[in-house]
Amino acid sequence: MRICPNCGNENSDQSQFCMYCGTVFAQNSASFVPPNDGYSNTQPPFAGTPVQPGSLQNGSAIPPYGQNPQPLYGQSAQAPNAQIPSYLQNQSSGGEKNKKKLSPGAIVGIVLAVLLVLSGIGFAAEKVFQKQQAAEAVDDIELPEIPDFDLDSDFDTAGDSSADSTIDSSLKFGKVADNIYTNEYAGVTLRLPSVDWKFLTKDEIYAHYSENQTAVLLDDETKETYYDSLGARFYYDMAMVNATSGASVQMAVVEIKINTDYTLNEFFEGVEDGLSETVDDALMEDAGIITIGNNTYSVKAIHMPESAPSIVMYYAVTKIDQDIVYICITESADKNFLDCFNNIIV
């Protein structure tokens, strides 16, 4: 029965309002007193008797108020971020990503890794180095996303003229004469290893790089092929190819435009990051060092055991003032790096 809270008279259980005074009963009115029908003597939960865990049909216990439930589906209480996407785990409490500061060398390295793989495989793909696999590797390559950085705050781009080279860019380029390539700025003199090799002309260099890469331009004055990246310009100064095997040698001078010093280790870290974002199976390892002219070059070997197992890419890198000079050789995987370089160094 329902007891009217206004006049105190009794009404039937189904009454929505008091038959005596017209007061409308609330749906969950506390004035409702359930009858004792003899089937159960259990007090309702809100009457003060706690529900026991065993009374739940599914057998799971409700934790006391204020206590955290146990993690489900194998989640660990010690790893609260285990189910949070990685791109959110690195955000600050304010919701902004923690900015990763990159050195100029690392930025150039990331870009160079992509360019090396595109160009090196691009030369070889049309020849004997498992053409189909190499071509598919090129098709699958995507430029990696370079982490955000603030050019003005992360790097000193004003007030320091050290990065503004006193050497005109055109003087940094080499020339080919009598099957010999000479670059006085880099102190490099290279030759064709055999009659199967040839130097590409300036037009052929541009045609190759513009076909395999986007945003490659041709300098109208110097006729040099170049690619502008963040804080750097890549000048593709020389390329030679083996018309029979598809092996190739590339050389570039990379002008760094950011007024900040960097190390070759930072550069190599960028290369490794770029490779990991570019080719899934790319492996980079130390090959050794070699002296070319008056400069010592660190040499790395890049292997792609699944996408291009028969290719190895050796690249020698040195730093001249703020600039990077690199020579990249793409050869069959059984070739030793010393043999590869000694075959071309005059």
Encode pLDDT of 247-272 as tens digits.
Answer: 889 998 888 776 567 778 877 877 77
8 Å CB contact between 289 and 314: no
| Cβ–Cβ < 8 Å for 300, 286 | yes
One DSSP character per residue, 39-60 reads S--PPPGGGTPPPPGGGSTT-P
* Interval 168-227: pLDDT, tens: 777 888 999 989 999 999 999 999 999 999 999 999 888 888 876 667 888 888 888 888
Reading the block at residue 81, the tokens are 């971020």
Domain boundaries, the chain: 1-32, 104-342
Q: Which of 13-22, 34-43, 83-92 has the lowest mean pLDDT?
A: 83-92
Portion of the chain with pLDDT greater than 70, in percent? 53
How far apart CA 333 and CA 207 sit, in angstroms, is 27
What whole-number distance in Å separates Cα of residue 189 and Cα of residue 2? 105
Secondary structure class of 297 (helix, strand, coil): strand
pLDDT (tens digit per residue) in 95-125: 443 444 556 666 666 766 666 555 545 454 4
Q: What is the pLDDT of residue 65?
A: 37
Query: Looking up tokens 């690195």, which residue turns up?
Result: 90
